[in-house]
Amino acid sequence: MEQLFKNILDNLNIGVIFVDKFGKISYANKRAMEIRKMDPDRIGTHVVECHPSKVHEKVYEVLENFSNGKMTHRHKLTRAGDKYFDNEYIALYDLNGEFLGIILVSKDVTEEIRLRTELERYYRTIEEEVKRKEEEIEKKYREILSVREHLMHSEKMFAIGKFVSVVAHEVNNPLDGIENCLRMIVQEPENAEQTRRYAELALEAVLRIENFLRVILDYAKPHSYEVELVDLSHVICKVVDVVRYKVSNKNIIIAVDVENGVLVGGISHHLEQVFLNLLLNSIDAIEEKRDNLKDLNFRGEIYIRAMKQDDHVLIEVRDNGCGIKEEHLGKIFNPFFTTKKEKGSGLGLYICYNIINSHGGKIKVESSPNVGTTFIIILPQNLFSVRNKNKLYELMWTK
């Protein structure tokens, strides 16, 4: 049985050393000898002999504190070359409470330290990127304000004022996504795969701000873009990942049902803008309904479905929110029309309409007050064939 226990301990990937109450090393498993670079003849010698003379006094002090009960547990992180070890010292007592010695458990945490360093680097990169983008946004925002000043006395004064407000509104959406991604990273910093995924999503949200600024320019002037084949499942799932943390503590579920291989010709970041706006509208509608019902337990549901249908792709975004009044249904795609008062800009659905229209598609809405809303999008599959993948087309932002 003793040999069995020895074999078990020698096959552990952690170092185990036992120092008896007299300070002598009574046992060390194979891994401990590798970590400590110990020779077998060290067994039976006093533990102080394994340390340089300058720390002998400290070693005796620790042994004394364990022996007299002042210390029962000690933790210390040490470095040996390019390796890091987590050392835990535990007092061992017999059934009568008599002190028998100290168990030293050493674990190689080099990879954990490396991941922590990598996480810190991710944090710094994201913070620096967000700060840089915020400065760019502020600069562009000031430029828009400057344009507004030049148009103060023109008939476009109202439109420009609304236009400036929508910049802040639409930029805040991806910024909110960045914050949500960072919160997910902070909650589970040891999850390297999740950290990389949310760090990438955060950086993509920063790029989405840049893309939206391009959309603003498109609003005023037509531009040419390069068309590519877009995988709708990838686009939809990426947007859902960005907003999922936003609803994680709001009793709202988001279900996605997208067929494999649903491809359309278009511009991925513009389509992402459409689904992001629709998802955020659904979340707002659910929260408004919950407030109206005064029912904190009301469960919000958002369902996104995409499927091939003949030579088209059908996409539905359905929620069980507050719904839209019948008299508003014919106006929701108009610029600057909003039912959200100061919370909305009135350009979100207008931009969605123009993006879908520019992709040769259609978007419509079905809604019942206090029941929910369904946005239906139809996009052609064959508008842009593979052979025309690099064709440029004009993206117009006027109805």
Q: For position 342, which CATH number holds? A: 3.30.565.10
Q: What's the distance, Cα to Cα, between the start and end of the chain in Å?
A: 85
pLDDT in tens, the chain (399 residues): 767 777 777 677 788 889 898 888 888 888 888 877 888 888 888 888 888 888 888 888 888 888 887 878 888 887 877 888 888 888 889 888 888 899 999 888 888 888 888 888 988 888 888 888 888 888 888 888 887 676 665 555 566 566 666 677 667 777 888 888 888 888 888 888 888 888 878 876 776 676 567 656 655 555 566 778 899 999 999 999 888 877 877 889 999 999 888 899 888 888 998 998 899 899 989 999 998 888 888 999 999 999 998 889 999 999 999 999 988 888 888 877 777 665 555 677 888 898 899 888 999 999 999 999 999 999 998 654 433 443 333 333 333
Q: For position 147, which CATH number holds? A: 1.10.287
Residues 132 and 280 in one domain: no
**Which DSSP state fits 158?**
H
- SS3 state at 138: helix
As for how many domains the chain has, the answer is 3
Residues 343 and 314 in one domain: yes
pLDDT at residue 385, rounded to an integer = 42
pLDDT at residue 217, rounded to an integer = 64
Residues 271 and 385 in one domain: yes
d(CA 376, CA 356): 11
Residues 77 and 190 in one domain: no
Residues 232 and 172 in one domain: no
Residues 216 and 238 in one domain: no
| Structural domain containing residue 119 | 110-221
| Residue 58: both structure tokens together | 């400290």
| Residue 327: both structure tokens together | 């008299």
Residues 179 and 98 in one domain: no
Of 31, 33, 25, nearest in space to 9 by CA: 31
pLDDT at residue 388, rounded to an integer = 40
Residues 99 and 245 in one domain: no
Residues 314 and 213 in one domain: no
Q: What are phi and psi of 302, to 5 degrees?
A: -125, 130
Domain-terminating residue out of 85, 108, 131: 108
Q: What share of the chain is helix, strand, coil (3-state, %, to 5)?
A: 50, 25, 25
pTM for this entry: 0.49
d(CA 121, CA 128): 11
Domain-terminating residue out of 201, 221, 241: 221
Question: What is the identity of the amino acid at 300?
Answer: G
Residues 122 and 196 in one domain: yes
Residues 275 and 357 in one domain: yes
Residues 88 and 215 in one domain: no
